[in-house]
Amino acid sequence: MKAQWIWYDGDYELMLLNQSLTQRYERDVFIPPFWRMDYFHTNVKFSYAFTLTEAEDITVLASGKFNIILDDVKNPTGAYVRGFNGVLHVEPGSYHMTVSVYNTQTVPALYVSGKTVFSGKDFSVTCNDFVHVQAGCCGFTDPNEPPTCFRYTYQPIEPVSEQVQGNTVHLDFGRETMAYLQLEGLAEGRAYVYYGESEEESTDRENCEQTDVILLSESSRTPIAKAFRYVTVDFEGTAPQRVRAVREFVPQERVSSFTCENETLNRIYKVSLDTLQLNARDFLLDGIKRDRWVWAGDAVQSDLMMYYSFFDVGVIERTKSALPNREPQATFLNHIMDYSLYWIISLSDYYYYVGDDAFLKKAYTVAKSIMAFTESRKNSQGFLEGRPEDWVFIDWAPLDNRGAVSSEQIIYLKALSTMITLGETLGEDISAYRAEYQRMKAAIDEVFWDEQSGSYVYALYQGKKSEQIKRHPNIFAVYYGLIEGARAERIKQDVLKNESVEKITTPYMRFYELSALSELGETDFVMNEILSYWGGMLALGATSFWECYDVTKKGAEHYAMYGRKYGLSLCHAWGASPLYLIGRYLIGLTPACKGYTSFNLRPRRSSVVGDYKASVPMKNGTLEISYGKTELCVLSQGASGTLYLPADTYDLPYPIENGEYKVPICDGERYCIPLISK
C-alpha cells in the first residue's frame, strides 16, 4: 500500500474545472465562462484514527498552510504539534490525528506516509461544516507532486509540410491536434503565431480565431496548448527558426475498432475516434478550439460515445463530479435547465456501464438537490418553466422556448424515472419521485399530445399551444422510451420521417434524432445519414468532425459561425456520435446489469454496411464480433451475456423469445454461428 495525496472529495475536480474553463482565448482576449463558477473549499480538516503496535516515523506533507493535532485516545489534549519538522515520531498506542489545511490557490491537500499509516480514502475530511466525508484521491502518490493541476502526456510532433517565405513559416501538421509550439534555435524579437484548423484560417492573419505573440528573448514556446492543424509564424526582424509542436493529450489505454465493406464508414469511424480523443482531456470538452468549455449537455453525449470507444471512466467521473454547484444548488448546470436534467439521466447510463457504488451514492445526493432546485421552476400548472436567469436551451436552433416547453417536461420525466430506478437500488425513499412521475406523465399526455398530428406539440405559452410541429419533443419521447408502440409508429411516420417537418440541423440534436430512429429500427436510414453527413465532411478533407456541417455551403464558407469567418469548431465532441450509433445500434451491444457484469448483444445488418468486424470495450473486458453473410462470430472476454438474433430472418437451432433467438454467450468462449436464412 502507498500513500496518496488526499483532499475534500470533489474539490480537486472543481479546481481543475476552474483552471480548464479559464483557458479560453479569442486571439488576445481572455474569455471566462458566463455562468456562475464555484470555488473549492480553501479551509479543510482531515481526520484519521490509528493504532501502532510499534513506534513509527510518520511523514506529513500538506499543500497549503497547515497544523496537526495528534491526540492519544487514552488522554486527548487537543494540543497542536509545535515546532513540526516534517516527521512525527509516534510511540505505540491509539491515536486520533487531525490535520487542518488552508490553501486559496490550489486545492488544500494532505500526504501522510509512515510504515503502517498512509493517507488515502480511509481518511475523513470536512470543509468545517462539521460534516465529515470520505477523503477524495485519484492516485497522486508522488510526495513531490501535490494535486495542483491536471497531468497531461506530451509528445513532439513533426509537420507533414513546411514552407518558408521570407520571415514567415507555414506548417501543416497533417491532422487536427492540440499542442504547444516550440521555437528552436537562438532568437530575438517577436514571433507572431496564427493558428488554423483550416489552411484558410492559419493564413488569414486578421480573422483567424487563435493567435499568440512570443517574445523570443523570454520564451521559446507558446503559453498554452491550442487546437490547430495549420500554423503560420511571422518572425519579426529575425530569420525564421525551426518550429515544432508538442502535442498535449491524455493517452487512451483502450480503443474500439470497426471495419466493414464500406470504406467511407470505416474512415468515419476512425475520424470519430480521433475527434473524441482530442476532446477527452481533463474534462469532456465540447470543442478544443473556440469554446474549450465543459457543457453538461455535450458531456452526456460524449459519455455514451466513450462507453463504445475508449471507455475512459476517469474523464467521465471528473466531468460529472465537477459540473454541479457546490451544495446547496443555486443555479442550473451551465445555468441550463435541460443540461441539469441530462446530467441526472446520464447517471443511469453510468449505473449500467460503470456502476461504481461510492460514486453513484455521492452523485445521487447531488441529483436529489438538483431535483429539489428544479422544483422551484414549476409554474401554476406544475410544468417546468425557465426563469429569466435560466437558459432553456433544447437545441441551437430558432426555437421559441417561452412558457412550458414540452421537450423540457419529457426530459424531466426521464430524470424522474432515473431518480426512481437509481433510488431503488440505493435504498432511497423514492415515493415522492414515483408520485411526481405519475402526475407528470399524465399531464404531458393530456396537455402536449396531439392525436390529430400524431405528435407532441412544442410548447404551451400563455394558454396557447404552438402550432408548428417540431421534431424535438417527439425525438425525446421515442429515445427515452416514454411512449407505446402505436404512438411511436405515428411519430415515426408523421414526424421523424416526414420530409415536410422542419429538419434538425445541429449534430447535437441529430444525436438524439438518429438514436430515436435507430430505436425505431431504421438502421439503413441512419447509416445512410451517417454516410452523407459525416462522409460529406470527410470529402472536404476533415481530419476531425465539425461542430456543424451545411452541405449547401461552399469552400471556406463552411468555417464561418457566429458572424466570424472561422468561428466554427472543426473538432467538436458531438461530431463523434457515429461511435455511439454504430456501437449501440448496429453492433447492438448494451450492458444488461449494473457495472456491465453481463451484456445484451443485438447486432443488426445493413445493406449500406455489409459485413463488419468490430471490437468494443466493456467495463471489464472486450467484445469482439464479426458479422458476415453466412456466419456470425462472437467472443466476449470479461463478461457473459446474451446474443439476440431476429427469428424472422434466420432459421437457427435456438429457443425463440418475443420473436428473437436467445443465444447465451459465456465469458471467454468463442462462438461462430452459421447463418441459415429463412
| DSSP one-letter code for 546 | -
Q: For residues 393 and 549, which CB has a smaller minimum distance to a second copy in the complex? A: 393
Element (H, E) at 631: strand 631-637
Nearer to a second copy, 15 or 645 (CB): 15
Query: Using CB under 8 A, which of 1, 74, 82, 86 touches a second copy?
Result: 82
For residue 31, state whether it binds a second copy (rule: CB under 8 A). yes
Out of 65, 89, 378, 439, the only residue in the binding site for a second copy (CB under 8 A) is: 65
Candidates 64-72, 244-252, 307-315, 479-487; binding stretch for a second copy (CB under 8 A): 64-72
CB 566 within 8 A of CB 196: yes
User: Which member of 105, 365, 381, 438 binds a second copy (CB under 8 A)?
Assistant: 105
For position 66 contacting a second copy by CB under 8 A, the verdict is: yes
**What does the per-residue mask of binding to a second copy show for 371-400, with x meaning CB under 8 A?**
-----------------xxx----------
User: What is the gyration radius of the CA atoms in the chain, in angstroms?
Assistant: 27
Closest CB 200 distance from a second copy, rounded Å = 20
Q: Does 23 bind a second copy (CB under 8 A)?
A: no
The nearer residue to a second copy, 30 or 166, going by C-beta atoms, is 30
CA distance 544 to 9: 35
Which residues lie closer than 8 Å to 513 by C-beta, 6 or more apart?
471, 475, 496, 504
Among 220, 252, 266, 331, binds a second copy (CB under 8 A): 331
Q: If we measure between CA atoms, which residue out of 350, 178, 196 comes closest to residue 275?
A: 178
Q: Which of 12, 14, 20, 41 binds a second copy (CB under 8 A)?
A: 41
The β-bridge relationship of strands 87-90 and 56-63 is: antiparallel
Residue 81 lies near a second copy (rule: CB under 8 A): yes
Residue 388 vs 555, nearer CB to a second copy: 388
Half-sphere CA count of 416, side-chain side, radius 13 A: 21
How many C-beta atoms surround the C-beta of residue 105 within 10 A?
Answer: 10
**Does position 33 bind a second copy by CB under 8 A?**
yes
Is 166 among the residues that bind a second copy (CB under 8 A)?
no
Which ranges of 150-243 does DSSP label H, i.e. alpha helix?
199-203
Helix (H), strand (E) at residue 365: helix 357-375
Q: Which is nearer to a second copy, 101 or 652 (CB)?
A: 101
Q: Which three cell numbers stand for residue 272?
A: 470519430
**All three cell numbers of 215:** 517574445
499 binds a second copy (CB under 8 A): no
Contacting a second copy (CB under 8 A), which of 55, 76, 89, 104?
A: 104
Nearer to a second copy, 14 or 527 (CB): 14
Total of chain residues touching a second copy, rule CB under 8 A? 46
83 vs 555 by CB, closer to a second copy: 83
Closest listed residue to residue 470, CA positions, set 450, 489, 484, 445: 450
Q: How far apart, in whole angstroms, are the C-alpha atoms of residue 636 and residue 487?
A: 37
What is the CA angle 96-97-102, rounded to 5? 150
In sequence order, which residues have a C-beta less than 8 Å from that of residue 316 and are 6 or more positions away? 284, 303, 306, 350, 354
Residue 335 as a binder of a second copy (CB under 8 A): the answer is yes
Binding residues vs a second copy (CB under 8 A): 18, 22, 26-37, 39, 41-43, 45, 65-67, 77, 80-84, 100, 102, 104-105, 127-131, 327-328, 330-331, 335, 388-390, 563
